[in-house]
Chains A and B, each alone.
Chain A
C-alpha cells in the first residue's frame, strides 16, 4: 500500500512532464495536422539551455537562492527554446504547408536528427550531470518502516505544471489569441477570411508549444539532474502517446493522457519489469491507436468521400 502510494506520487511527477510535452504535439497536430517529430528534440534542447543557464547563474554569477535561479532558468529556457521553435517552423515547416502530405513529416524527422546531432556536436556526446538543485522532502506517513515521501522537487514540478497549465488554459480559452488559434484549428480559410492572421497564429502555436516543452525540459533536468543529446526521442514518443491517448487535438486530454502514461510507466516498472518499461508506453500507443483512435477526449474522425 505504501509502495503503491509512493508510485502514484512518482507517476504523477513523470506524468506532468509528459503532459507538458504532449500539449505541444496536440496543439500542432490540431492546427496544421502534422506530427511534429522534432518536438521531443526541442524538449531536449530546452533542457540543455536550462542546464547552461543554471551553470551560468550558479558558478559565474554566484546566485545562491535556488528559487531565484529556478525562475530565471525557466524564463531563459522558455525564451531561447521558443525562439528556436519559431525559427524551425519558419524554415522547415512553413514552406511545406499545403504541400505533399509526407513532406512535413520527413522535414520534421530531418529536423529531429539535425537537432540531436547539433547538440551532440556542440556540447559533446557525454551525459551532463549537475548536483541536485533542490533537496529535501516531506515524509507523508510511515508504515512498517516504509516512508512515503514527497520531495520538494516533485512538489515544485506539480506546482509549476499546475500554474502554467492554468495560464495556458486562460490563454487558449479566454483571449483573442486563443480564439484565433481555435478558429484556425477548425478552418484556416474561413479564419483568414474573417481577418485572422493564420501564419502568425501558427507561429504562435509553435512558440507556445516550445515554451511548454521548455518548462518540461527544465523540470526534467531538475528531477533527474542529468541530460544527454539523445534524451529527446523516448520522452517525445511517450508524450505523443499521451496526446493520442487523450485524443489528439484535445488539450485537457493531453494533460490527462500524460498523467496516465506517467502512472502506467511507473506502475509497470515497479510491479512488472523495468527492462521493458518503454514497451509499456509503446504498447499503449499501439493499442490506443488500433482500438480507440479518437482517444479519450477526441472527436472521432469522419471519413468523407
Chain B
C-alpha cells in the first residue's frame, strides 16, 4: 500500500466533514423492529413445532431454522428480500433468513455462468466466511473444552 501523504489525509478529513451521514436513528429503529419481528415469527414457528411434539432443545429449533431458511430463500427468489433489506439493514441481515438470502442471491445472480461454475461455485461467496469462522471457532472451543475437561 502506498504511503498516505498529509495532503491525502487532509482531503479525507474534508470529505468526512461534508459527506452525508446515513440516517442513523431511523436505521437502528428499523433494524430493531424488523429483526425483532423475524425473531417473533421464529418463536411462533418454534412453538408450533413444539406443540407438534418435537423435542424442544434439538428437533424443534432445527426444524425452525430450516423453515426460516426456506422463507428467506423463497422471499429472495420472489425479489422481495432485498427490498426488506434496503429498509431494515442489519434487521434482515443478522437473522438466519439473511443467511439464506446471502446464499440464494449469488446462486441466482450467477446462473448465467452455468450450474457448476455459476450457481454452485458462487453460492457461498457471501455466506462462506460465516461458515468458515463459525465452524472453525466452534472446533477450537471444542478442543479447549476437551483439553480442560479430560
Q: Do A and B make up one complex?
A: no
